[in-house]
Structure 1
Amino acid sequence: MQWATLLAAAAALAQNAAAQNMLRFACSQLVVERTDPLVNPGMKYTPHLHQIVGGDSFNVTMDPNNDPAQLSKCTSCTFNQDKSNYWTAVMFFKAKNGSYIRVPQIGNGGPQGKLVNDGGLDVYYIPSGKVTAFKKGFRMLAGSASNTDASKVKSGAICHRCWTSASENTFVGGAPCSGSDTVAIPKSPTCKLIRQTIIFPTCWDGKNLDSPDHQSHVAYGQGAGANGGGACPSTHPTKLPQVMYELMWDVSKFADQSMWPTDGSDPFIYSMNLGGSAAHGDYVFGWEGDSLQKAMDNNCNLNTACPKAGLTVQTSAQYGACKKKQQAPEDVDGWLKAMPLGEMAVKA
């Protein structure tokens, strides 16, 4: 009876997420390179590799005085008005011979419908009541790229799911970061896909567009998961839309355990050479004018045009065609002798 109750609750959560008005849209890969204008501004060949999506004005420094919405000529995301940049670490598969290859990515399915990506990730903006959209120059970071302690991770905000279905359209599990989701990257051969979820804080101090650690100006509210965020603390009273990244890593090609390392090391690892405890996401706001505020106020939904907010959409071919040349050039495709950590990438 207890299991039946839990399953019913999980199903209800999934249904509520499907019914709740939110922006949910695809962003294809803009570039894969070792830059990080949030944590390492001005540096080329940063300590680890990132995959970046969004506006093509993305650059090594990303001066907060410059508006991506004005500078970008295209965006790799669905909505024409969204020139924001979103980026995460890259997942690698480590073979038993010590070589590495990037794990491919696909779009997501689930109750809200299929999203089409050329690499990249899916982005959600989930409101809970009246929310204040981000301001020009706003940026933030979720997670820590150097963390090795899973107990320090807010498990209701950063998690991984073993997706046992071969198709992303066959929904597995309940609401994000619930049930059997783990901070650690799953390493079962039964996983066809690994879904990574990164949920950002929803409470803002109302003053600072950034902070030295890119986190102190925001805070998580009460509760956990993809519910739009709970009540905010008095130190961070302004309610923001909840930003969530979803990434579908296709590990189906690596199910044969004879390919896996024999030294006990994990077969799936992020580009910091660390596991799920170091998963993180970076966000730089770049919506045109007050389009995001209007989208939240007018209950714009999913990845469809919303005339009340002036939102227009691109086809997957259009947003997938928005690409940028590497600013820190190196060949990161195919098998690599080692993960690019400081040294230039070398083909295996």
Structure 2
Amino acid sequence: MFTSLSLTTAGIAGIAATANAAPETGTAAHTAHAAYSMPGMPGMPASTQASGDDPDGDGYIMANPPVTGVTPSMDVPPQAYFHEFQAKCAPTHTAPDDPIVYPGQPGKSHDHTFMGNTTTNANTTAASLETGNTTCLAPGDKSAYWMPSLFKGDQKILPDGVQTIYYKAGVTDYRSVRPFPKGLRFVVGSPMQSKEEFKNLKGTVEGWECGDSFKNYDFPASCPDRRDVQLNLRLQAPSCWDGIHLDTPDHKSHMAYPVAGGANYNSCPADHPVALPMIEFKMAWPVNGDMSQVRLASGAGYSFHYDFMNAWDTATLDAMVTHCIKGGLQCDPHGYDENHPDKGAVLDGNYRLP
């Protein structure tokens, strides 16, 4: 039975980075902000602490420049079953920090397991991520990904090696998807959500899975006690952006899930018109057998949530989105679709732009 996993980058070397200039921040006074709500997304504590990316501590971080004048696409694109690529990132460290919910307040959060950028901590900013290394296969992905740590009894269990993070089209017109703006951040789900809220969250796929057991919205009582059985979870993020804010006080209201438009058509709502990649966490923990002592640092299994702060190299992310998502392909971390070898790859053998 699996009971532990040492923190490892699974052979992925950290790539030394050259510090880049800090991204621009909004200069307009925060005089008026639209009131947003996201159905099915339970609330988060509002940030009231000043931080490097939010000097006045009001919780709003403005996009500079904003993306305006966008109308959600209702066009019908050419048929393409896939429009995605994979990021592969290993765990880096754990800490009771959360630079989105509790910026500048080390130790205030429940324990998190961090992936991707190796420097993520309570004082992380968009600029600091630029100078960090990454455990993602693509050195251009210096983004920070984190989620509540998982325990079995008092033993912390880390995800099993390199994890898959999908970047997909959440809208029907996959050609309308744009890359994330640098510094965008959000929280998916909530540690305060109920079991029913987790079940009904638009991003919930099959709940907790192990062996032949799925659609569990809390941890199953037991999983087959075999080495090939792990505890799995997939959770999709909202992918429609308001075009104005890189963050809002609840860390959710600037994002929304696509809405159904009939005939299996999904598009962004009018108040969040900018289609971005849909992130899907696909996590695997090496734990099985008796699950009665399994818990998250945030509580029960239905308290699962995750955080994302974008720090992709702009050119690399743009190339991956254009080739794989807008191109209607099913790409691996190189940006290569083995079913369409004639389309070539985006990244070279070292996962860098040529």
Q: TM-score, normalised to structure 2's length?
A: 0.64
Pairing of 1:1-348 with structure 2 (within 5 A): 20-64=82-126, 66=127, 68=129, 70-72=130-132, 74-94=133-153, 100-107=154-161, 117=162, 121-127=163-169, 128-151=174-197, 153-158=199-204, 159-164=206-211, 180-190=214-224, 192-222=229-259, 230-252=266-288, 255=289, 257=290, 266-272=292-298, 274-299=299-324, 301-304=331-334, 311-312=347-348, 314=350
- Deviation string 1:266-308 (CA, Å, 9 cap, x unpaired) is 4211012x11221100000011123212211112711225698
Q: TM-score, normalised to structure 1's length?
A: 0.65
Give the Cα–Cα distance (whole angstroms) in 2 for the partners of residues 214 and 220 of structure 1: 14
- Which letter does structure 1 place at the counterpart of 2:285? W
- Deviation string 1:82-129 (CA, Å, 9 cap, x unpaired) is 0001000111112xxxxx11234325xxxxxxxxx2xxx321101233
Distance change in 2, residues 1:57/1:105 (3 Å): closer
Unaligned runs of 5+ in 1: 1-17, 95-99, 108-116, 165-171, 174-179, 224-228, 261-265, 316-348
Give the Cα–Cα distance (whole angstroms) in 1 for the partners of residues 345 and 118 of structure 2: 23
Distance change in 2, residues 1:41/1:312 (3 Å): farther
Contact 2:237/2:280 (<8 A) preserved: yes
Give the Cα–Cα distance (whole angstroms) in 2 for the partners of residues 25 and 220 of structure 1: 21
Higher strand share: 2
Deviation of the 1:53 alpha carbon:
1.1
CA RMSD of aligned residues (A): 2.7
Higher helix share: 1
Unaligned runs of 5+ in 2: 1-79, 337-342
Deviation of the 1:219 alpha carbon:
0.3
- Which letter does structure 2 place at the counterpart of 1:303? P
Contact 2:210/2:223 (<8 A) preserved: no
Deviation of the 1:71 alpha carbon:
1.3
Deviation of the 1:39 alpha carbon:
0.6
Give the Cα–Cα distance (whole angstroms) in 1 for the partners of residues 274 and 102 of structure 2: 28
- May I ask how many residue pairs the two structures share in their alignment? 249
Distance change in 2, residues 1:236/1:181 (3 Å): same
Instruction: Give percent identity, aligned residues only.
Output: 24
